[in-house]
Amino acid sequence: MKRLKFEYRTSVKFDGEVIDHGFLLRCIPKEEERQHLEYYRLDIWPETEVKVADDFWKNTTVQGIIVRPHRSFGFNICGEVTVDLSRPRKTGHPIFAYPTEYTQTSPAMEALTERLLREAFGDVRQVCTPQQPEEEQANALSKALCLMNGLYDIFEYRQNVTRTTTTAAEAFALGQGVCQDYAHMLTAMCLYAKIPARYVAGFMLGEGHTHAWVEIFSEGSWYGLDPTNNLMVDETYIKLAHGRNALDCSVLRGGFKGNVRQNQEIYVHVEEVE
């Protein structure tokens, strides 16, 4: 078990005034079996009333609207969470067995998935499904790790070559991308192999930006895999949200009236509390 202190700040500046600015945030760490939010403080500017509620995936959302003219918008959240991977496990949901437009495989991705599993396990047809008994799902985690290792070997981390709307197949064809692309691709490959998988957004120990990874369902439990770093997720990661893809987990969404350009800065810091 680890106790982690976090701070997350996003600041957006506009080169002119905007009005009727509606926003939806998923910046509050998720409360679930293995993660407990000890406390948090959230500041939003310009100050406005907000509504805190759960979305379909039980991720905490913060919604609000700023009607008056303003040239900047931002929020800062800080607090502490306790992460304990030994806590009781959670059952799967059948919706995480099916791809979305962002997690569809291409023929090249399918060929790689089949080759990796064949080389490591022989018969690629021997994959798990959510309906199979737990004893038949024993290889789901090892298969997902195999796919993650193979993806890591051929894909290059590079910023500014993909967009927030880039699909798994598009990123795979480029051969380069960021953590969102890694997570979409691994999710797609796992789903093709009949391994239930979901997209996760959150933080990891250190200083930088938000991060994305994957959770797969095996032997009655969700396991986190970080394909960007080729690591299993441990107790130094903080989850904000999970869903079918990045769109379900977006930390900041919104819209406003105004013909302006904007500049966004993000800061994340996570440290372990002794």
Average pLDDT over residues 51-61: 96
Nearest alpha-carbon partner for 115 in 229, 192, 177: 192
pLDDT at 91: 76
- Measured CA to CA, the distance from residue 73 to residue 154 in angstroms comes to 39
pLDDT at 128: 45
Is the pLDDT score of 46 beyond 60? yes
- pTM score, whole prediction: 0.92
- Measured CA to CA, the distance from residue 23 to residue 25 in angstroms comes to 7
Angstrom distances, CA of residue 253 to CA of 4, 6, 55, 78, 265: 26, 21, 14, 20, 15
Q: Name the pLDDT band for 92 (thresholds 50, 70, 90).
A: confident
Is the pLDDT score of 132 beyond 80? no
Q: What's the mean pLDDT when you consider all of the chain?
A: 93
pLDDT at 125: 52
The ranges assigned to domains in the chain are 2-86+251-272, 94-244
| DSSP state letters, 56-76 | TTS-EEEEEEE-S-EEEEEEE
- Which one has a higher pLDDT value, 244 or 220? 244
Average pLDDT over residues 109-135: 73
Longest alpha-carbon distance in the chain: 63
Residues 104 and 94 sit within 8 Å (Cβ to Cβ): no
- Measured CA to CA, the distance from residue 167 to residue 170 in angstroms comes to 5
The phi, psi pair for 20, rounded to 5°, reads 50, 50
pLDDT at 219: 83
Q: What is the CATH code for 94-244?
A: 3.10.620.30
Contacts of 123 (CB under 8 A, 6+ apart): none
**pLDDT-wise least confident of 31-35, 124-128, 189-193, 244-248:** 124-128
pLDDT at 208: 87
Structure confidence by residue, pLDDT tens digits, 62-77: 999 999 999 999 999 9
Q: How many whole angstroms from its chain centre is CA 48?
A: 28
Q: HEC string of 2-15?
A: EEEEEEEEEEEEEE
User: What single-letter amino acid sits at 193?
Assistant: A
Q: Name the pLDDT band for 124 (thresholds 50, 70, 90).
A: low
* 262: its two tokens: 């904007």
Residues 124 and 167 sit within 8 Å (Cβ to Cβ): no
Structure confidence by residue, pLDDT tens digits, 15-38: 999 999 999 999 999 999 999 999
Q: How many whole angstroms from its chain centre is CA 230?
A: 15
Contacts of 33 (CB under 8 A, 6+ apart): 87, 88, 89, 90
Q: In CATH, what class is 2-86+251-272?
A: mainly beta
